[in-house]
């Protein structure tokens, strides 16, 4: 009786605990990104992107081919991950349905196997993938808009407009990746609440190191022009 009670209610303890660990860490990370952006990798990268945009707009439109290549690469990567998320949504429905209809597979799962819990697993995983898909689509849209602004001829473009498009695309990209991490943890819930909880803790520990930035924010001083070298040589 005690073992049955533990098995049935383990999902109600470990799964919320794992989600709390993930959500709590990302709320803390969001607080750092807003108030101490220089200590995070996201803030460090956004700082570099702002400098990139400001220097880019000093160049003639006809010489911005490399910038369009950069935004095009981000656009391609965003659409690729969006396609992957959408394909996984489709495969997941068929695969999970067949797995749980198999009695030997269901018997090896240590956890609650009621229809409500199984349905919740389906819904949570699919929701994560769908929202990740939406985020990657928005990221692709933002990078596409940034490329449009960069290549706009005969116009004095404000740096803030391009910055907003690039930073917005990058932020949607980050959120989409985090949702894929969450979906991965939720997929392990298929095999029981214990793997899901352990995976959540390991993910947070790894992200704690990957999200931290200790390098100072670079300013990228402009190189000396040829005229400057000539003046130095004259002296």
Per residue in 143-184, pLDDT tens? 888 888 888 777 777 778 889 999 999 999 999 999 999 998
Question: What does pLDDT average to over the chain?
Answer: 81
Q: For residue 126, how many C-alpha atoms fall within 13 Å in the half-sphere facing its CB? A: 15
Residue 160 in any domain: the answer is: yes
Determine, yes or no, domain membership for 225. Answer: no
Handedness of CA 157, 160, 166, 169 (dihedral sign): negative
- Residue 232 domain-assigned? no
Q: 106-137, pLDDT tens digit by residue?
A: 556 677 777 788 788 888 888 898 899 899 99
Residue of 2, 12, 67 lying closest to 197 (CA atoms)? 12
Tally the domains of the chain.
1
Asked whether residue 231 is assigned to any structural domain, the reply reads no
- Smallest Cα–Cα separation from 137: which of 89, 172, 164, 163? 172
DSSP per-residue letters across 91-115: HHHHHHHHHHTSHHHHHT--S---H
212: DSSP letter: B
Residue 227 maps to a domain? no
Residue 188 lies in a domain: yes
Quick: pLDDT tens for 177-213. Answer: 999 999 989 988 888 889 999 999 999 999 999 999 9
7 in a structural domain:
yes
Q: What domain range is 168 assigned to?
A: 2-216
Q: How many CA atoms lie within 13 A of 44 on its CB side?
A: 12
What digits encode the pLDDT tens for the residues 50-81? 888 888 887 787 777 777 788 888 888 888 88
Take residue 31 and report the two structure tokens written for it. 């607080």
Rounded Cα gap, residues 68 and 97, in angstroms: 44
User: What is the token pair recorded at 1?
Assistant: 């009786």
**pLDDT tops 60 at residue 2:** no
3-state secondary structure of 40: strand
Q: Closest by alpha carbon to 181, among 142, 234, 128?
A: 128
Q: Find out whether 186 and 196 touch, Cβ atoms under 8 Å.
A: yes
User: Is position 221 within any domain?
Assistant: no
Q: Are 26 and 178 in contact (CB under 8 A)?
A: yes
Give the pTM: 0.83
């Amino acid at each position: 009786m005690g073992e049955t009670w533990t098995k049935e209610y383990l999902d109600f303890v470990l799964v919320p605990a794992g989600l709390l660990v993930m959500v709590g860490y990302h709320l803390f990370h969001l607080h750092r990104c807003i108030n101490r952006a220089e200590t995070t990798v996201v803030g460090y990268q956004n700082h570099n992107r702002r400098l990139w945009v400001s220097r880019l707009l000093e160049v003639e439109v006809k010489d911005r081919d490399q910038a369009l290549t950069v935004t095009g690469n981000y656009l391609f990567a965003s659409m690729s991950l969006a396609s992957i998320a959408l394909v996984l949504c489709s495969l997941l429905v068929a695969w999970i349905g067949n797995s749980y209809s198999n009695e030997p597979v269901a018997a090896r799962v240590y956890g609650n196997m009621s229809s409500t819990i199984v349905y919740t697993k389906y819904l949570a995983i699919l929701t994560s993938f769908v929202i990740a898909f939406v985020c990657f689509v928005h990221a692709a849209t933002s990078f596409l808009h940034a490329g449009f602004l960069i290549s706009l001829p005969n116009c004095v473009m404000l740096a803030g407009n391009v910055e907003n498009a690039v930073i917005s695309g990058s932020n949607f990209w980050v959120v989409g990746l985090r949702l894929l991490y969450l979906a991965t943890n939720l997929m392990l819930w298929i095999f029981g609440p214990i793997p899901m909880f352990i995976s959540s803790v390991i993910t947070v520990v790894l992200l704690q190191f990957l999200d931290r930035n200790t390098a100072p924010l670079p300013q990228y001083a402009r190189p000396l022009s040829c005229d400057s070298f000539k003046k130095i040589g004259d002296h």
